Amino acid sequence: MDSKIKSLVKKLTLEEKVSLCSGSDFWHTTAIDRLDIPAVMVCDGPSGLRKQNLEDENGGVNNSIKAVCFPAAVNLAASFDTDIVHFVGETIGDECQAENIAAILGPGNNIKRSPLCGRNFEYYSEDPYLSGKTAAAFINGVQSKGVGTSLKHFCANNQEFRRNSSDSRMDERTLREIYLKTFEIAVRESQPWTVMCSYNLVNGIQMSENKKILTDILRNEWGFTGLVMSDWGAVRDRIKGIAAGLDLEMPYSFGAYDELVVNAVKNGELAEEDLDRCVERVLEFVYKAIRSHDDDVVWDKDKHHLIARDIASECIVLLKNEERVLPIKNDEYVLFIGGFAKKPRFQGGGSSHINCGNVDSVLYAMQGNTKLVYEEGYSAEDDLYDAKKFDSAVQAARDVDKVVLFAGLPDSYESEGYDRQHMDLPKVQNDLIEAVAEVNPHVIVVLENGSPVTMPWVDKVEAIIETYLCGEGVGVATVNALYGKINPSGRLPETFPLRLEDNPAFIDFSGDSTNVDYREGIFVGYRYYTKKKIPVLFPFGHGLSYSNFTYGRMTMDTDSMKDDETLEVTVDVINESNIPGKEVVQLYVEPDIPNTKIRRAVRELKGFAKIYLEAHDKQTVSFILDKSAFAYYDTDLSDWYTEPGNYKIEICKNAEEVITYKTVSVIPKKPKKHVYDENSIYKDIMEDPAAAKIAKPYFDKYINNNFASDNFDESASEAFGSDMTVYLQDTTLRTVVNMSFGKITYKDMTDLIDKLNK
């Protein structure tokens, strides 16, 4: 802690300190003129700047300055390219500098538990590794420009329904491995200047008062040193919040709680040191922002528009391409259908919404092309059937070489503030796709949506491109992908299930009243579909290319290791085609431990790399794996633990398709010490060699006494099946006392337990 800040805190009155721990308006921290402490401004994003137009006093929160809209978070994750994401961060960091913004309120890093969450487009993935790595890259990019970020919404804020009061209830392992993991990776790898605590409760405790998560885990375990701010209006009890480690309440709540906090300090309910600690962190943030501000940075919006286009190109996912219908050739007559061709859906609604000055539509990108016909077919705004438009589109489809149908979710279907009701596209769009596919065999569907949709027509069209919410460069990027000027290289950062009912959270999503039980546990997204072998529409990690990539030799630098060592894995990737392109190499780890008692996912993503390969080029990709590739969160130990055994290191096309693998045997540096008690069972004890040796005489006595003496009634054997040793397997230490006809005493048992636990 900066000693200047410490001495500054000493000069502040109690009231001033309390005021510093709250905003002064919607976007600023509080200034203390008496001591020349300035205020700094934060602003929304993070797919661009949503900076409130301060010139316009009547503008309200929705009036933001004109800005550039980059692809949404889901797109950035779909790029599977941390360099690209870092670059987006740098670009937005420059914009923040130019606008004198201390921190941008993002990235959103919550796990996509269900396709229905209204804010899924603002989040990266269903997988904590991909999500955490993408968030870290974004944060490092922004912060490299001397601007802060606010990693949000911390944590387990996976739905919009009752978002201020819902209680996300889950077991510790699920919390650690999935819902905290995504944040843990980001915090450890990028040290965001600020973290934003979420609205909801986690296991009964409001996040803005959750000391275990905000302080014990975030700061003490992960080493976070920045500021914790509340989501807008997320404070319930500011006194408890300050004690729990919530430094800054946002926005200004017009002093609603200030007096309460002052009184709490005066009457000893709140320790003044707790308040001082929060004030210090607020001041550190303010002065860090002031120190890092660079007046000379200018924001060239035209240049950034071109960057937005380039980034969009990196995120487009080619889901299907039969008969090589794509790319479209320049001499082919093509019909574009859909309101989205004219008015694209390229961003989501709510606090991330950017006031764009310049949006490329696909029709704009196709200007002057004499081989193009356009039919609206349906409106982009709603689900209304207009017979004239519909029929005219179907009619036009008969006379062209290929049809591109732009489909997607209207703005009103997904936004911050509410969840989707279903996973379907508007009916008129599904009907039109079917009708057009009846009259033309070469239909290409381009999707604009923030989260998975059902595709009842999937087998009737030849190609599908998922552009998600591609930002303001959407039109040019999409046309370039359609015509092969760019080679699609995105991969799905989430599973597209066949039906909403297949989603693991289907029954519990939204919850009854305020309680939302995460009963699917760690089996989120592909962890569930692969475990239950449930067929999906498109798996996590899926995405095609116009190139043809194959994989060659795979190597590992060892085939047995301790978990405090690292493993280097390499694999050769070859572009067998004439088309240069980018491949996403995905590495998953699959535990191969027969008879394990630990419920594990079939495989989990533990590495990915995006590489560019010229035609017929070859490259070797390498990955370094450490303990985090093998360990699960062990609730007995309250720590990560590697179960000894074999692990398959798999190079995959996607979460379901293994291309090649090798096996490594891993043992923990420190083997788990089992703790035994009166309910420990014979089987578990006998599987632990050290314990088996100690406990053998105890069990032998029991066996001899009960099964090999007069006490053993032959008919018992019949009653329990022929083999009494099977029955023995589940026998607890205390059962032995209870059932040994007084031959084995309670003291025998407690002596044994003492020896076992030594």
What is the 8-class DSSP label of residue 674?
P
> Given the complex with ligand BGC, which of 47 and 503 has the nearer CB atom?
47
Sign of CA dihedral 585, 588, 623, 143: positive
> Given the complex with ligand BGC, which of 44 and 604 has the nearer CB atom?
44
Q: How many angstroms separate the CA atoms of 596 and 698, rounded? A: 26
Select from 65, 69, 103, 105 the one that contacts ligand BGC (CB under 6 A). Answer: 105
Minimum Å gap between C-beta 648 and ligand BGC is: 39
Q: How many angstroms separate the CA atoms of 65 and 742, rounded? A: 83
Q: How many angstroms separate the CA atoms of 704 and 756, rounded? A: 22
Residues 28-87 interacting with ligand BGC (rule: CB under 6 A): 44
Minimum Å gap between C-beta 101 and ligand BGC is: 13
Q: What is the dihedral of CA 20, 23, 29, 31, to 10 degrees?
A: -50
Minimum Å gap between C-beta 195 and ligand BGC is: 12
> Given the complex with ligand BGC, which of 213 and 621 has the nearer CB atom?
213
Select from 232, 509, 608, 623 the one that contacts ligand BGC (CB under 6 A). Answer: 232
Q: Reply yes or no: is the peptide bond before residue 689 cis, omega within 30 of 0.
A: no
> Given the complex with ligand BGC, which of 28 and 320 has the nearer CB atom?
28
Pairing of strands 639-641, 632-634: antiparallel
By the rule CB under 6 A, 351 interacts with ligand BGC: yes
Q: Which of 81, 94, 167, 231 is catalytic?
A: 231
Strands of 338-383, DSSP E: 355-356, 372-375
Q: How many angstroms separate the CA atoms of 227 and 321, rounded? A: 47
Minimum Å gap between C-beta 44 and ligand BGC is: 5
Sign of CA dihedral 7, 10, 16, 18: positive
Minimum Å gap between C-beta 144 and ligand BGC is: 22
Q: How many angstroms separate the CA atoms of 578 and 615, rounded? A: 5
Pairing of strands 167-169, 148-154: unpaired
Minimum Å gap between C-beta 239 and ligand BGC is: 23
> Given the complex with ligand BGC, which of 232 and 647 has the nearer CB atom?
232
Query: Does residue 218 contact residue 176 with C-beta atoms inside 8 Å?
Result: no
Residues 368-427 interacting with ligand BGC (rule: CB under 6 A): none
The two tokens of residue 423 are: 């996973």
The two tokens of residue 265 are: 């300090």
> Given the complex with ligand BGC, which of 232 and 632 has the nearer CB atom?
232
Active site (annotated) includes residue 231: yes
> Given the complex with ligand BGC, which of 108 and 543 has the nearer CB atom?
108
> Given the complex with ligand BGC, which of 251 and 338 has the nearer CB atom?
251
Minimum Å gap between C-beta 122 and ligand BGC is: 8
The two tokens of residue 314 are: 């990196």
Minimum Å gap between C-beta 199 and ligand BGC is: 7
Residues 131-170 interacting with ligand BGC (rule: CB under 6 A): 152
Minimum Å gap between C-beta 153 and ligand BGC is: 6
Query: Does residue 413 contact residue 420 with C-beta atoms inside 8 Å?
Result: yes
Residues 9-28 interacting with ligand BGC (rule: CB under 6 A): none
> Given the complex with ligand BGC, which of 149 and 351 has the nearer CB atom?
351
Provide the 10 A C-beta neighbour count for residue 697: 11
By the rule CB under 6 A, 123 interacts with ligand BGC: no
Q: How many angstroms separate the Cα of 202 from the Cα of each of 58, 163, 240, 428? A: 37, 12, 15, 40
The two tokens of residue 533 are: 């072998």
Q: How many residues in the shown chain lie near ligand BGC by CB under 6 A?
A: 6
Select from 231, 650, 688, 748 the one that contacts ligand BGC (CB under 6 A). Answer: 231
Give the rounded distance of the alpha carbon of 628 from its chain centre.
Answer: 17
The two tokens of residue 341 are: 């061709």
Query: Does residue 154 contact residue 485 with C-beta atoms inside 8 Å?
Result: no
Minimum Å gap between C-beta 693 and ligand BGC is: 57
Q: How many angstroms separate the CA atoms of 405 and 338, rounded? A: 6
> Given the complex with ligand BGC, which of 360 and 414 has the nearer CB atom?
414
By the rule CB under 6 A, 494 interacts with ligand BGC: no
- Nearest alpha carbon to residue 246 among 282, 220, 272, 271: 282
- Nearest alpha carbon to residue 559 among 549, 568, 547: 568
The H or E element spanning position 661 is strand 657-667
Provide the 10 A C-beta neighbour count for residue 338: 28
Residues near ligand BGC (CB under 6 A) are 44, 105, 152, 231-232, 351
Residues forming the active site: 231
